[in-house]
């Protein structure tokens, strides 16, 4: 399953991507899906198996533009 970490700041999304990659987790930046209802922004897409490690990183960094985690569910995006 794919998880999206949604950011409203391009700079913070790219910083998170670099740090997540530095942890050996495969991730990409993507445009935030409009169906997530978070407006414009970038998301970092990664495998759900890495969620706990990514959550720890995001919490430790205190990203002010972080808007939450979302997953695709039946053609919709739901916050987790």
Q: Residue 25 belongs to a domain with what CATH number?
A: 3.30.70
Per DSSP (E only), the strands in the chain are 2-7, 27-31, 42-47, 66-73, 76-79
Say if residue 77's pLDDT is above 80.
yes
Domain that holds residue 60: 2-79
Query: Considering the entire predicted model, what is its pTM?
Result: 0.89
| pLDDT tens digits for range 23-71 | 999 999 998 877 776 666 889 999 999 999 999 999 999 999 999 999 9
Pairing of strands 27-31, 42-47: antiparallel
Is 27 exposed, middle or buried, given 0-12, 13-18 or 19+ CB atoms closer than 10 A?
Answer: buried
The count of domains in the chain is 1
């Amino acid at each position: 399953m794919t998880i999206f970490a949604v950011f409203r700041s391009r700079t913070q999304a790219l910083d998170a991507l670099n740090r997540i990659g530095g942890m050996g987790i495969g991730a990409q930046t993507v445009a935030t899906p409009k169906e997530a209802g978070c407006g414009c922004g970038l998301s970092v897409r990664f495998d759900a198996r890495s969620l706990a490690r990514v959550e720890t990183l995001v919490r430790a960094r205190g990203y002010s533009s972080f808007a939450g985690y979302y997953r695709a569910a039946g053609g919709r995006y739901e916050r987790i």
